[in-house]
């Protein structure tokens, strides 16, 4: 039996002997925690929903950690909405700093989208009004305060959104929330010696992102969920700041993807491994029989993300069968997709070049190597291979040269201090870092839209990462899209449906998109890398729709 087979077949406690020591101690310290299930929050008779962003305390590794959540200490309730439903979302900010709430994946006007311009000051309430017109999907909500998104998500602010419609309600899918319809919010955290969230926005994290060694599912370490025998539905969200995830089931058991970011696929797609990029959602059907099943995170090649405990198959969640059996099944057919148009060459074309400042690229990689060694570069990659992607020797001048760059207009750099937990100091964002990641050579500038799209007019976008070897999950606000080409290749079947994130990693991706809601300059839509530290340091643009 090789190590992977042993990991797959073992129980959580049995796995402790082959996992890294710190993780082994966590697993063996106590019986596995039950999977926390975020409560459902539905609109009242008038369509009102109330959220409060607030501080709280969460226990991890035997210590009390300051965290942030919506209507609680960590994460938030799951908003359950219906197509054609009119909503008034009231968000009260009880945090010590300004925040926003972006409704990621919802096709709604810019006034309600919750981008970085929709700021909510401490003690204030923002009301967003919208009517859903899109079909059933699993979406989510999270902060989008520019320069602070990564830290605020790391502190715990995130929650799921479920959209139901009449057609999907008739299908025999699992629908018992928290029983056989199971939220799986995947994140990683890093804690300091005092047990506080150790968030840093510096040269290393601005280059590769902020990542940790504490894997969490719905805020719990390696939890266990007892579910009825039969088909169970996992609503998977990669809520990590910067870590892509490659998921599998123990024993190489197959599973079926039935939906992606923007809704249901035409038919289930059978897989044994599923890569989930930051911000992506997939709905997965798993058949639970007589034995428990482990959901595993397999190692990835992404830079910085191959460090323990993520350097080997890592148990995230145990699904254990109960004596109960619920009637649910896997449909042969789901939702039909329109054929991709043949005339998209004549549509409005837009090109977006993603790039990191070569100084940040070089110094960020140096910091990564100095801190973690060669293993941090990912499987089969050296620093020389990475820097070979930018052969221009004149670009390799000192980082200090960036410090003379002007501040981004509209950003309150004085408020950008980053508290790393109780008793810790602050770390400013810095002028150079704030403009170190760019689209078409420009860092994000608040209130300066890059272009205006027209309502109802289809467009063809090319997003390029050529010359940049970093992973960029590219997200577009306000609409779903179809992928023509993903990083130079045809999209895989489970990625060929409606999406709002596309992979860009050293190649070009093309998407077809149409905006059906307005977005004025004051509440423009965003398009950006969903590696949050790239977004926070400039790899974002705004655009209007009129």
Please give the order of strands across the beta sheet that includes 86-93: 63-70, 48-60, 86-93, 125-131
Helix, strand or coil, per DSSP, at residue 254:
coil
Check: pTM over 0.95? Answer yes or no. no
Q: What is the pLDDT of residues 239-250, one digit of tens each?
A: 999 999 999 999
Domains along the chain with CATH numbers: 349-355+434-545 (2.60.40.420)
Give average pLDDT by consecutive 10-residue segment, the chain, 546 residues.
Answer: 32 38 45 93 98 98 96 98 97 98 98 98 98 97 97 98 96 97 98 97 96 97 97 98 98 97 98 98 97 97 91 97 93 94 90 95 92 74 44 34 35 32 34 88 97 97 94 98 97 98 97 98 98 98 98
Which two structure tokens, joined as six digits, stand for 180? Answer: 């056989």
At 379 the pLDDT is 52
- Pairwise CA distance, residues 475 & 285, whole Å: 25
Q: How far apart are CA 96 and CA 148, in angstroms?
A: 13
HSE value, Cβ hemisphere, 13 Å, CA-based, for 154: 31
> Which parts of 78-198 fold into alpha helices (H)?
110-113, 149-154, 166-169
User: What is the Cα 530 distance to its own chain's centre?
Assistant: 7
- Run of H or E residues at 137: strand 137-142
- 138-165, pLDDT tens digit by residue? 999 999 999 999 999 999 999 999 999 9
**Parallel, antiparallel, or unpaired: how do β-strands 508-513 and 540-545 relate?**
unpaired
pLDDT tens track for 217-229:
999 999 999 999 9
């Amino acid at each position: 039996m090789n190590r992977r087979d042993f990991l797959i077949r073992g129980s959580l406690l049995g796995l402790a002997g082959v996992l890294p020591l710190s993780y082994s101690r966590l697993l063996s310290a106590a019986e596995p925690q039950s999977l926390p299930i975020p409560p459902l929050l539905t609109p009242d008779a008038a369509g009102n929903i109330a959220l409060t962003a607030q501080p709280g305390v969460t226990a991890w590794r035997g210590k009390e950690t300051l965290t942030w959540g919506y209507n609680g200490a960590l994460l938030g309730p799951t908003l359950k909405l219906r197509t054609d439903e009119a909503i008034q979302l009231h968000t009260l900010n009880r945090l010590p700093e300004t925040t926003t709430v972006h409704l990621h994946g919802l096709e709604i006007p810019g006034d309600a989208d919750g981008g970085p311009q929709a700021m909510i000051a401490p003690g204030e309430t923002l009301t967003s009004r919208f009517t859903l017109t899109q079909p059933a999907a699993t979406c989510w909500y999270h902060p989008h305060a520019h320069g602070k998104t990564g830290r605020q998500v790391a502190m715990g602010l995130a929650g799921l959104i479920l959209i139901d419609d009449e057609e999907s309600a008739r299908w025999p899918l699992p629908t018992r929330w928290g029983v056989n319809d199971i939220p799986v919010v995947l994140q990683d955290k890093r804690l300091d010696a005092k047990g506080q969230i150790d968030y840093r926005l510096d040269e290393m994290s601005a280059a590769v992102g902020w990542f940790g060694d504490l894997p969490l599912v719905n805020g719990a370490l390696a939890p266990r969920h007892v579910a009825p025998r039969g088909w169970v539905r996992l609503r998977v969200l990669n809520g990590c700041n910067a870590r892509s995830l490659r998921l599998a089931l123990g024993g190489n058991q197959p599973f079926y993807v039935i939906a992606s970011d923007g809704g249901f696929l035409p038919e289930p797609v059978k897989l044994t491994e599923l890569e989930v990029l930051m911000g992506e959602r997939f709905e997965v059907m798993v058949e639970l029989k007589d034995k428990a099943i482990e959901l595993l995170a397999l190692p990835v090649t992404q830079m910085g993300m191959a460090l323990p405990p993520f350097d080997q198959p890592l148990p995230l969640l145990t699904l254990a069968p109960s004596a109960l059996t619920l009637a649910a099944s896997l449909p042969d057919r789901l939702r039909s997709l329109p054929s991709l148009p043949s005339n998209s060459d004549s549509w409005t074309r837009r090109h977006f070049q993603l790039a990191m400042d070569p100084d940040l690229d070089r110094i960020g990689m140096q910091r990564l190597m100095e801190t973690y060694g060669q293993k941090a570069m990912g499987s089969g990659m050296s620093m020389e291979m990475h820097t070979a992607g930018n052969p221009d020797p004149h670009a390799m001048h000192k980082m200090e040269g960036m410090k003379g760059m002007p501040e981004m207009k509209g950003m309150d750099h004085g408020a950008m201090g980053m508290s790393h937990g109780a008793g810790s100091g602050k770390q400013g964002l810095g002028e150079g870092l704030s403009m170190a990641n760019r689209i078409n050579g420009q860092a994000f500038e608040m209130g300066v839209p890059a272009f205006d799209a027209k309502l109802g007019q289809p467009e063809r976008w090319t997003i390029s990462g050529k010359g940049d070897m970093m992973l960029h999950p590219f997200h577009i606000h306000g609409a779903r899209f179809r992928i023509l080409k993903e990083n130079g290749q045809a999209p895989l079947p489970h990625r060929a449906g409606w999406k709002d994130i596309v992979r860009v990693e050293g190649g070009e991706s093309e998407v077809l998109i149409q905006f059906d809601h307005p977005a004025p300059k004051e509440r423009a839509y965003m398009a950006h890398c969903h590696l949050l530290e790239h977004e926070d340091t400039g790899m974002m643009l705004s655009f209007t729709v009129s």
